[in-house]
Amino acid sequence: MSPGGFDVIDVIRTKRDGDRLSDDQIRGFMEAYTSGRVADEQASSLLMAIFWRGMAPTELSTWTAAMIASGQRLDLSGVGRPTVDKHSTGGVGDKVSLPLVPLVAACGAAVPQLSGRGLGHTGGTLDKMESIAGWRAGLEPAAMIEALRKVGCVICAAGAGLAPADRKLYALRDVTATVESIPLIASSIMSKKIAEGTDALVLDVKVGTGAFMSDVGRARQLAETMVALGTAAGVRTTALLTAMDTPLGRTAGNAVEVAESLEVLAGGGPADLVEITLALAREMVALAGLSDAGPASDPAAALADGRALAVWREMVAVQGGDPDAPLPVARAGHVVRAPRAGYVTRLDARAVGIAAWRLGAGRARKEDPVSAVAGIRCVAKPGEAVEVGGPVLELAIDDPGRLDAALAALEAAFDIGPEPPPPTPLIIDRITA
């Protein structure tokens, strides 16, 4: 038995046997583990028991609340606007946060986007933003709140004080094969977002080969679980299930995705990226209670009239970046060509993501550096025609020694057929409380 009467063995045994953990057991474990009084071996046993036995909704709500209580909860009540944020479960070419955050701020909300770095084949928002000269990810809470008052939005790193229990548990899940547990995924995401202090939250749950969740049923279960957690914590929460079998937009990488985001903010950009950005923006504006404000709160109008781009420039500048600085470009390139004429019928998001990762745009370990310029441009996407020998993918190369490994990932990345494939919806479902 641990000091103070807390018995971690009893907690492990309770969940191992499929019983519900009491609120006191959950709070006791979270406090003891965060403070170092429970060994990683014991916490690993509990995580594996949760992986196999699951958690009841009320049990998971208490677990998430205990993770939040392990650190600070930001108070954004003084920013002068309704607050709303968005979280994506990650995908290939998923640069949506970059145009979305200033767009929603241009519609009258405050958007405190606390983001992360990429790991594996899905990119990280902070890695993309750091390809902008001078831009910095780290903001103290007071500076973040001041930026929200002044500009209406930030994209920055979450501070160490938010849900520190999650930081410890996530690292342990990564090395104990318990990452895929829906209760553990949901509590990890929602503990940080709720601790952030936002009034409302929209979740973009990706589904497909390039997403963490490839099965629609499990993605819907995850979305429903997270929406329930947010609602129970007093955060107005909805979720969209969106397709991630094909890369979103035309680019996967860091600087190349910033450039594409700027195209959207300037009123252009790929149709699929614009569609997802506007769908999420409308959800956020509605949850923030701004839908009735007329053209001033219309995301499409804010893109068309330049308001969103103006907010982007202010946001970049307030975080030390130069919005006029040219983005870095790769020293070399390579074109993957079509072996026959026809239509692209499939372009696998995961294969493109892995190739971009191998070029240096992503990292295998959290401490690895990333290349700002490495990446891939999808010249032809499903439904588009190609000629024999015509370009399908263009690779931006920082380190030529990485090219062969990237090309290996792309060997079966796309198919070409005589007819275009039938169109498929980008937005699969909407989940509410």
Q: Which residues are catalytic?
A: 87, 166, 173, 188, 192
Q: Identify any residues that bridge with 242 across adjacent strands, giving them in sequence order.
A: 206, 427
CA dihedral 302, 305, 306, 308 (to 10 degrees): 0
Chain CA centroid to CA 151, Å: 22
Of 382, 398, 384, the C-alpha closest to 331 is 398
Sheet of 342-347, strand order: 385-386, 342-347, 414-417
Helical ranges in 289-345 per DSSP H: 299-304, 307-318
Question: Beta strand 427-431 with 236-243: parallel, antiparallel or unpaired?
Answer: antiparallel
* Placement of tokens 């342990």 in the chain: 172
* Rounded-to-integer distance, Cα 225 and Cα 137, Å: 30
Task: Please name the residues in contact with 198: beta carbons below 8 A apart, sequence gap of 6 or more.
Answer: 76, 83, 84, 85, 112, 235
* Rounded-to-integer distance, Cα 132 and Cα 98, Å: 12
Q: Amino acid letter at 365?
A: R
Tokens of 86: 């968005």
Sheet of 236-243, strand order: 84-88, 200-207, 236-243, 427-431
* Rounded-to-integer distance, Cα 349 and Cα 339, Å: 20
* Rounded-to-integer distance, Cα 283 and Cα 269, Å: 21
Q: Identify any residues that bridge with 334 across adjacent strands, giving them in sequence order.
A: 395
Tokens of 273: 């990226």
* Rounded-to-integer distance, Cα 384 and Cα 32, Å: 56
